[in-house]
Structure formats: structure tokens, C-alpha cells
Amino acid sequence: MSTRSSRKQVGTNRILADVSYEIRGELAAQAVELERQGYEVISLNIGNPGLFGYRTPETMRLAMIENLGQSEAYSHQKGIFPAREAVVMQQQNRGVMNVTVDDVFMGNGVSECIDLALRALLNGGDEVLVPSPDYPLWSAAVALNQGTPVYYNCLPQDGFQPDPDEIRSLLTSRTRAIVLINPNNPTGAVYGRELLEEIARIAEQNSLVVFSDEIYDQMLYEDAKHIPMATLVHDTLCATFNGLSKIYRACGYRVGWITFSGARDGATQYLHAVELMASLRLCANVPGQWAVQTALGGYQSIQELTLPGGRLYQARQAIIDGVGGSRFMSLCEPAGAMYAFPAVDTTMFEAFDDRKFALELLQKKHVLIAPGSSFNVPYRNHYRLTTLPTARKLEVVFERIEEVLESMSVATGC
């Protein structure tokens, strides 16, 4: 007779040993448990605008509602024509002229687009250059598709900007692609034209596919300017990733897209493979696609939020002020996106660890952040938090952070 102790355990895919996504990991699970116990947790681990009172523009909701009758059947595997046409028009307005609707693939969020693009490209052992720190979905997607992420450093002392010479030093015969996240998640760094041009030349000289994640392209502060990578890459294939989740505060719509540009004459088989992958999942969410044309062609309300006086701008300033008023922390001020990546001065602690700090902050002060080491960096003195709460809420957060850091420094005798 079979017993529970003798029952064979269900195994897992060994490749998952190299995959993690701690933004929604153990700390987030503990936060949920605290909320079940009746505590109010300030969750700053995920950039999810809807949870902080941001609304999708009403015109986008109406566009979906008005077209629900046309949303019940599968669409073309690449997506509905009006959505893809709107993406093309946006790209052309930005100076990317050699694209058509056939170069655009709609997906269930940028996350699915990343998986489709990598799955169609990689064979076992192929290498992809990925920034460190990175948004960990990129590393996970490379690993899940049998590739090897090879990290190029974007160091704090360099303003989280990549070093082209280091990128060159990492190239091997197995390098297939390079990932750029600009504006960057988690650091908020925005890359300048000269740097991007040099990386574009490296990619062209080595026939690398350029994967440019530009989901935060209009979320910019002060005098920061976003340069679309597709305007600089001409002699190799460039894939630009974007979507509705962040700029248009529509995470739940799950609408993202890839636009292929640059040299496509040598990428015919690869592009057919991407279409095959798109076909196998039948199509992306159709109702959400009807919001794309209105979103991209309408009034860009994100500017109200990022200019001085806007809610995102003021929240960013609250973080800058909170770090500036601390005796423990420093910050490379974010120029874009909806995150900050503060550093803790480890000399003021006997043995500082970002995960231990995050756990202390959650358990004692009910604030949830993401440890910096979750973003594939070798150091353990940073953390990421989102700029989505109100400025007043962030003032409270930094009061609590300072209290925890103070207690940790006292506990270690510093």
C-alpha cells in the first residue's frame, strides 16, 4: 500500500536552477502574510501604477469598449492592423523610417515578446550580453531558452553607464545578442547618444542582434533625453521592445510589442522563427490591442506626471531628499523610469547585507523593497524602490528606512 512518505516526488526542470525573480519572491510572500495578519504594508517592490492610484487614460478604455465586438475572434498572429500601424507611425515620427506593419509583433506584454524573441534565436550555449544591474526577466528568459547571460557592468561610480571597452572584452564566438535597457530599470540611468552610437557600432561589427528595451522611453526627468536605439543601428538587426504598461499605466492590459528594424536581409530565417513562435500562441490579447492606436496617437499625459510639479517628479524628488537627509545612504539620481537604486554605506556597519536589511525593514516597519542583488549585481549594498507612491508616503518610507539603518548600525556597534 502506497504511503505519503514513499510517494515519488514531482520533479522540476533543471534549467530553473539558474532562474530567479525575487521581485515577486520570498519577501513578497512574507508581505502578503503580514497583510493577512492585518498589517498595512507599503509595497515598493514592483512598478505597478494601478496599485498606487494611477489610471489608464479614459480614451484608451473607451477604445477597448467600443471595439469589444471585434475582439472575440483570434487576430492575426502579429496583431491587429491598427495597433501595428500606430507603432509604425510612432517609430517613423522618431526617425526610424525603414519599418512597416510586417515588422511589428504584438505580444501579451513585453515579457512575452522577450521570450518569443529569445526562443527563436538561441541554441544551447549561446551567449547574450546583459547589463548588470538588469531587469531580471532578461536574465531568466535567456537561461530558460538555453542561453547564457554574460553581464557587462554598469557601475555605480560610472553613473550606472556601460563601458564599451568592457563590452568588447566580453565578446566570444558564441555571443549572439546584446540587451540594452534604456531608460534603465532598476537604476533610472538614461544613456547618451555618443555611448549608444559606440554600442551600435560594436553590435554591427560583430553581427549581434540588438535587443533594446525602451518601455520607459517617455518617463524622463529634468533635461534627460531618450535616443531610440533603432535610429542608430543600421547594419545589423535591431529589436525594439515597448508597450502600454508603464507610460500609459495599463499593466493589466498585457499589451507589448517588438519592432524589428535595421538590416533584415540576413535575418529572414530568424524573423520567420519569431512568427512561428507568435503563431503557436495563436495571438496576443485582442481587446487590449484596440487601445494602442489611441494611446500612441493621442495626448501624452505622461508629461503631466514627469514635469516639475507632476506626481512622478515630486515622488522622485522625495526620494532624492530622503537619501540626501540620511547619514547612511547615497544615490545616483534617476534620470528616467519609475525607480531609484540607493546605496548604503557599508563602512557604517559590521556586515551589511541587502537581503537582511530588506527583511528587517519588512518585518519591523512593514515596507517592502527589492534587494539590489536581485538585479544580478555582485555587490550587496543597494536596493530598489519605485517612485509611484505619493511624495508624502515616500517621506514616511524614508523615516522608517532611517530608523532601521540606525538600529542595525547600533546593533553592530558602529
Give start and end residues of each alpha helix (H) in 136-264.
136-144, 164-169, 193-205
Domains and CATH numbers, the chain: 19-54+304-411 (3.90.1150.10), 58-297 (3.40.640.10)
What values do phi and psi take at 331, rounded to 5? Answer: -150, 130
* Joined grid coordinates for residue 345: 554605506
Peptide bond into 49 cis (omega under 30): no
Residue partners of 244: CB distance under 8 A and separation at least 6: 56, 60, 250, 253, 255, 256, 288, 291, 292, 295
210: how many CB neighbours lie within 10 A of its CB? 25
- The pLDDT value given to residue 22: 66
Residue partners of 194: CB distance under 8 A and separation at least 6: none
Which residue from 326, 393, 391, 404 is spatially nearest to 365, judged by alpha carbons? Answer: 404
CA 188 to chain centre: 10
What is the number of residues in the chain? 414
3-state DSSP call for residue 133? coil
> Which residues are paired to 243 by β-bridges?
256
Which residue from 394, 345, 331 is spatially nearest to 367, judged by alpha carbons? Answer: 394
User: What is the edge-to-edge ordering of all strands in the sheet holding 237-243?
Assistant: 104-107, 256-262, 237-243, 209-213, 175-181, 127-132, 148-153
Decide the pairing of beta strands 209-213 and 237-243: parallel
Residues 130 and 275: their CA atoms lie apart, in Å, by 24
* Widest Cα–Cα separation across the chain: 72
- The pLDDT value given to residue 320: 98
Residues 121 and 126: their CA atoms lie apart, in Å, by 9
- The pLDDT value given to residue 292: 97
Q: pTM (2 decimals)?
A: 0.93
Which residue from 256, 279, 286, 254 is spatially nearest to 73, judged by alpha carbons? Answer: 286
* Joined grid coordinates for residue 241: 521592445
- The pLDDT value given to residue 371: 94
Residues 319 and 329: their CA atoms lie apart, in Å, by 11
Q: What is the 3-state secondary structure (H, E, C) of 261-282?
A: EECCCCCHHHHHHHHHHHHHCC
- The pLDDT value given to residue 277: 94
- The pLDDT value given to residue 13: 76
Q: What DSSP designation does 339 have?
A: E
Residuewise pLDDT in 10s, the chain (414 residues): 455 667 788 877 777 776 666 666 788 888 899 999 999 999 999 899 999 999 999 999 999 999 999 999 999 999 999 999 999 999 999 999 989 999 999 999 999 999 999 999 999 999 999 999 999 999 999 999 999 999 999 999 999 999 999 999 999 999 999 999 999 999 999 999 999 999 999 999 999 999 999 999 999 999 999 999 999 999 999 999 999 999 999 999 999 999 999 999 889 999 999 999 999 999 999 999 999 999 999 899 999 999 999 999 999 999 999 999 999 999 999 999 999 999 999 999 888 999 999 999 999 999 999 999 999 999 999 999 999 999 999 999 999 999 999 999 876 555
The three-point CA angle 260-154-107 to 5° equals 30
- The pLDDT value given to residue 5: 62
Residues 232 and 195: their CA atoms lie apart, in Å, by 11
Q: What DSSP designation does 208 have?
A: P
Residues 191 and 200: their CA atoms lie apart, in Å, by 12
Which residue from 317, 337, 302 is spatially nearest to 133, judged by alpha carbons? Answer: 337
The label of the residue with cell 532598476 reads 186
What values do phi and psi take at 97, rounded to 5? Answer: -95, -20
143 and 114 Cβ atoms separated by less than 8 Å: no
